[in-house]
Chain A
Amino acid sequence: KAGVTQTPRYLIKTRGQQVTLSCSPISGHRSVSWYQQTPGQGLQFLFEYFSETQRNKGNFPGRFSGRQFSNSRSEMNVSTLELGDSALYLCASSLAIGDGEKLFFGSGTQLSVL
C-alpha cells in the first residue's frame, strides 16, 4: 500500500511569492492534516480536512490556506511568503477524525524562503 505522497520535496522561493504544496493520502484515508515543523517551534498544526471540509484550524495567519478534493487529495497554499515561513511542511492522513485517529505522515516539503 502506497504511503502518503507529498510534492514537491524541496522548494526555494523569495519573499512575497506564493506557493502551493500537494499531498496524496493513503488510499482509503479521508482525513488530511497539515503541519509546519521548525527546529525552534517543533510540529505546529495548520489545519485538518475531512470529506472536503476544514474540520480544525491552528493559529496561523490567513496567508495559510488549504483545500481537499473529492478524491481526498489536499493542497495547501501560502501567499505573500515571509522569511519565517521557511520550514518543513508535513502532511498526514488518517482513516477518520476522532479519538482513535492515528496519523501517517509523508516525507514533507522543505520550503526555503530567501
Chain B
Amino acid sequence: QKEVEQDPGPLSVPEGAIVSLNCTYSNSAFQYFMWYRQYSRKGPELLMYTYSSGNKEDGRFTAQVDKSSKYISLFIRDSQPSDSATYLCAMKSAGNNRKLIWGLGTSLAVNP
C-alpha cells in the first residue's frame, strides 16, 4: 500500500462546477500538506500549502486537512477551463531530512 493514495481520475466537469479532489495517507507523522497543479508539458506549481490541520482558502481554492481521518481535500469553486490540469497532493513529516511524498495526481478536465 502506498503512503499516499490519490484517485487518478480522469475527472470531467462542466464549467462553473465545484470540484473536490482528495488524497488519503497512512503516515500519521505527516505535518505539511501541499497541492500542486501541473499543466501538460510543464512542471508542477504550488497551489496551496497547509501546516497541520484545518482549512485554508485562496480565491476559488480551499484546502482542507483532516488528520484524524488522514484525509486531505482541495475544493475548486466556479471551475474554469483554465483549471484543466493534473492536481498532485504532496505531504511530509517534520524534520529537515524528511522527503516529500507524492500522490499520483488526479487529471481534471473542465468543459466549457
Contact = CB atoms under 8 A, between A and B. Distances in A.
A36 B32 CA distance: 22
Size bracket, chain B contacts: 20 to 34
B1 interface: no
A16 interface: no
A42 B100 CA distance: 12
A58 to B, nearest CB: 7
B60 interface: no
What is the size category of the interface that chain A forms with chain B?
20 to 34
A27 B70 CA distance: 36
B104 A105 contact: no
A107 interface: yes
Given A102-B49, A105-B45, 12 more contacts: A42-B88, A42-B102, A43-B44, A43-B88, A43-B90, A44-B102, A56-B97, A92-B43, A102-B46, A106-B43, A107-B43, A108-B42
Interface of A: 4, 41-45, 55-56, 58, 90, 92, 97-99, 102-108, 110
Interface of B: 31-32, 34, 36, 41-46, 49, 88, 90, 94-97, 99-100, 102-105
9 contacts: A42-B105, A43-B88, A43-B102, A55-B96, A56-B99, A97-B96, A99-B96, A103-B100, A107-B41
